[in-house]
Chain A
């Protein structure tokens, strides 16, 4: 671990003024610092800030950036109105980690690509221009969608997948005092030629909250496939909210984890479903659209057929149609 300064911010403006790296629960950042994958010179501890509330606003919920994952999952309103989020959170990490992990930190957690973690390996994300050792290496857990020649890493968060389903918006405060609200699609970048840039967050900016709009209509589900029963990242996960009225799908929102460099949502998938009578054939068509550009790199090829199966199972469950 490289020596670093530590500053404790007492107010949001303290945090925005201080020049350094934000630390919240530390469950991701500290691991990376021990390995010197991350080498910040100064840490700004934001855990004293007043960002721990989950507030009901008009038809929406504002989740403070420091709300621990376990509290968010247990919140009565979240469990009732946004069960996909509660389920996704509980499907992640372990009880101990969820107690420490924060809403903001979870959104900002970095990939679990094993080559990224090992500083003796070339990695474009860690050291731009050195190459991507995962592409032709052991890439079982890596991405099949949204990859580039430079990087095939996934975003590992479960929580963010559910937030993507819910059309959540991330509240960001910048040092100039300005506040913006961004959807997750706007927030996360694809790797392209600059895999080291993962979000549009600028240095000095702070995530202060996540806003959940009115709950979606219909039923919600989060399904995560993993290598062991708990405490493993998703091979594939599907978060969904689907409404059926009069035998037709009227609303559908679907997002996917384990597949891409950001929580993956594809409007084309939803277009295929909306207005249709749910059936295995329609679900297959949705999977076709989702996976039309999917590409495996060897060890992760299995994710393509697996995603289709899980997507169909989730849609069957939510629409009550046998596969």
Chain B
């Protein structure tokens, strides 16, 4: 049986009634011990009998066509073959569900995956891939510079009132341009696939975030029926967007395995993750803020320039939070996407907010400075009654509370004027930024089984990309079925299981959590029936059912396992209400007056994301967000060569992400909240909330410390010391 719910109505807060005490508590992740002891098997660790090794080959020109010269390598030791069939130009975009661009023997950027070689050992395959002769026919006229691109897609998604007029009439204005460099997702685990064929059936052990889409993308890329594809991703070592869509190594492994009639494993080298998956686009952003004498916004303009390959539908939603975070009647956003011969742009860690909120929240800091109003007060003053563009009501929104309680806990009252606080060579300052991330509900299914012995099983093709999915699905089932969480087993990451939302867009926990909730709710209804009480009267706790003056252990109520499927679908609530998670980030930094080096001293985030399903995994998400926020503020930036467009810093030695010393103490506070409009578990997304705005708190703190406004990210020493 399937318990279906389309989210058209506010749902009762059943999880506040159940009383098992499994939900919300900071439970350790059940698979944690496996992971830290090396017993959780990741894609690149599977071995199949008679397995061969595949290595991807990249294009070493920027534009043109090619052929591979198999003869150049066919006598090398271990050589098994080289193939160019079905190659995808870059990873599929998230939720694409079809094949990405397959350019045949054409090259559109330097680094594009153009072939796969296979050999008996990994070392042989890598050597052959290196030795393989490629005959190129280069084409001139490629473009790699966003500032001079000839093909630019322009749009003006929002043009409301008269922003120019508002700027002209304003008591205070900010008109500033900010730039961010491209980012790489940089998951710890590189992309990896092991492909095995059984006749027409393909099984792929991969490292992916959204299996039901990935299955279709893989099948479509290979020209086969998706029903014949099974993907397994029980453990994923981080994705950050780069594993939303099927990636080149999956195609390479599948093509080689089919031709060889042997299993083939293909793992991307770190450099290939930097070159051929997807990057976050660079952005240039112009922010215009118009405010009246009280600092109330009358106009908000946020224009952005970015780039992508031709024929990619994705554009970084830079203004995602700008639409609804602050008021102001006159509004305008324009977007330009330059078409370039550089690696594709796609989703990387909070696409949109991660870079858009750097600029927006810096501009708010500049407005605070201009008006002389405290940055927290200025933000609170500009929280709109209704969505300033759509006129919709907001669902739960604790932004003001996050700002106030965060400020209190952080010691914001000790903040001083720029350059006022000095310790030896170091200027010390504090910064704040709002956090906001749109909340999304996606269709998701899960099967829940309750056994008479008081154990339960949750099955779904949902993934855990290091986020804590195993933990929270376990807790939801345990809470609903009245079991200790240790009695619940969660099986994830297999397309043979009911299809889930996948992990992305911060919708995974609430969407797949709702499906588990619904499956368990259906089991509760059947138990209530057997106990002879109304479902609302049923209490389940520690394996005992109580209701209607009856009290029975589960075993006595059941003659076999109870199996129910939960199925959540987004409904009218998604359109009716403006839904988002909110928060506030605080940072204290020190800036060296000699060198311009920035050292973050401490940070705090106060977050509100509806019901917190697990305080520990939720806080860990926010920690991760702050680390990436520090990275985007201070360190990260892909460098493209200005002649070829290739990625120059393609490893973790030269693409800097924060190390421990860069990311010191981070306190996370949660505001108690329920979002009745979001879904039946009243939770909202938290995964990407942590990064949204975080970097701006850091750069605002730099300004407060030393009086230097860095608008050109990242804030490396060379951008700061010349102004000190």
Residues of A within 8 A of B (CB): 1-3, 34-36, 94, 112, 114-115, 117-121, 133, 136-138, 140-141, 225-233, 235, 302, 305-306, 309-310, 312-313
Contacts and interface: CB of A to CB of B under 8 A. Distances in A.
A116 to B, nearest CB: 11
B594 A313 contact: yes
A306 B659 contact: no
A133 B641 CA distance: 10
A112 B654 contact: yes
A85 to B, nearest CB: 21
A120 B646 contact: yes
Which among B271, B639, B648, B651 has the highest number of chain A CB atoms within 10 Å? B648
A130 to B, nearest CB: 13
B659 A229 contact: yes
A227 B595 contact: no
Nearest to A232: B656
Contact of A309 (B123, B594, B634, B660): B594
Contacts of B716: 227
Interface of B: 58, 60, 77, 110, 123, 126-127, 130, 271, 425, 594-597, 599, 634-635, 639, 641-643, 646, 648-651, 653-654, 656, 658-662, 716-718, 721-722
Which among A94, A232, A309, A310 has the highest number of chain B CB atoms within 10 Å? A309
Contacts of B722: 302, 305
Which among A115, A226, A228 has the highest number of chain B CB atoms within 10 Å? A228
Contacts of B662: 228-230
Nearest to A119: B130
Contacts of A115: 648
A3 B77 contact: yes
B60 A229 contact: no
Contact of A118 (B127, B639, B650): B650
Nearest to A226: B597
Contacts of A120: 58, 60, 110, 646
22 contacts: A1-B123, A2-B127, A94-B659, A114-B649, A118-B650, A119-B130, A120-B110, A137-B642, A138-B639, A138-B641, A141-B654, A225-B595, A227-B635, A227-B656, A228-B658, A231-B659, A302-B722, A306-B717, A309-B594, A310-B595, A313-B425, A313-B594
Contact of A3 (B123, B651, B660): B123
B445 to A, nearest CB: 43
Contacts of A226: 597
B126 A137 contact: no
Contacts of A3: 77, 123, 127
A137 B648 contact: yes
A313 B646 CA distance: 38
Nearest to A298: B642
Given A225-B597, A231-B659, 8 more contacts: A1-B126, A118-B646, A137-B641, A229-B599, A229-B661, A230-B659, A310-B595, A313-B595
Contact of A228 (B127, B635, B639): B635
B655 to A, nearest CB: 10
Main secondary structure of the interface of B (DSSP, over half): loop
Contacts of A306: 595-596, 717-718, 721
Contacts of A34: 126
Nearest to A316: B594
Nearest to B663: A229
A235 B595 CA distance: 10
Nearest to B719: A302
Main secondary structure of the interface of A (DSSP, over half): loop
A305 B721 contact: yes
A230 B722 CA distance: 23
Contacts of A227: 635, 656, 716-717
A1 B661 CA distance: 34
Q: Which 4 A-B pairs have the closest CB atoms?
A: A229-B661, A302-B718, A120-B60, A313-B594
Nearest to B592: A225
A254 B666 CA distance: 39
A310 B717 CA distance: 12
Given A34-B126, A137-B641, A138-B648, A112 B717 contact: no
Which among A36, A225, A229, A305 has the highest number of chain B CB atoms within 10 Å? A229
Contacts of B654: 112, 114, 141
A227 B639 CA distance: 15
A26 B595 CA distance: 33
A36 B656 contact: no
A18 to B, nearest CB: 22
A115 B650 CA distance: 10
Contacts of A119: 130
Contacts of B634: 228
A115 B639 CA distance: 12
B36 to A, nearest CB: 17
Contacts of B77: 3
B126 A114 contact: no
Contacts of B646: 118, 120-121
Contacts of B643: 136-137
A313 B597 CA distance: 14
Nearest to B716: A227
A119 B597 CA distance: 33
Contacts of B271: 35, 118
B648 A114 contact: yes
Contacts of A114: 648-650, 654
B283 to A, nearest CB: 19
A287 to B, nearest CB: 13
Contacts of A138: 639, 641-642, 648-649
Given A1-B123, A112-B653, A120-B646, A230 B595 contact: no
Contacts of A225: 595, 597, 717
A3 B77 CA distance: 10
A1 B127 contact: yes
A137 B646 CA distance: 11
Given A3-B127, A119-B130, A306-B718, A228 B648 contact: no
Which among B126, B639, B646, B654 has the highest number of chain A CB atoms within 10 Å? B654
A234 to B, nearest CB: 11
A300 to B, nearest CB: 9
A228 B659 contact: yes
A5 to B, nearest CB: 14
B684 to A, nearest CB: 33
Nearest to A235: B717
B243 to A, nearest CB: 23
A309 B721 contact: yes
A230 B718 CA distance: 17
A121 B718 CA distance: 27
A229 B177 CA distance: 28
Contact of B594 (A35, A121, A310): A310
B346 to A, nearest CB: 23
Contacts of A140: 639
Nearest to A306: B721
Contacts of B123: 1, 3
A3 B79 CA distance: 14
A140 B659 CA distance: 21
A114 B640 CA distance: 12
Contacts of A133: 641
B576 to A, nearest CB: 45
Which among B77, B649, B718 has the highest number of chain A CB atoms within 10 Å? B718
B629 to A, nearest CB: 14
A2 B599 CA distance: 42
A144 B641 CA distance: 20
A156 to B, nearest CB: 10
B648 A230 contact: no
Nearest to B714: A227
A281 to B, nearest CB: 18
Nearest to A323: B594
A91 B648 CA distance: 25
B395 to A, nearest CB: 39
A309 B596 CA distance: 10
A318 B523 CA distance: 75
A306 B719 CA distance: 11
B111 to A, nearest CB: 9
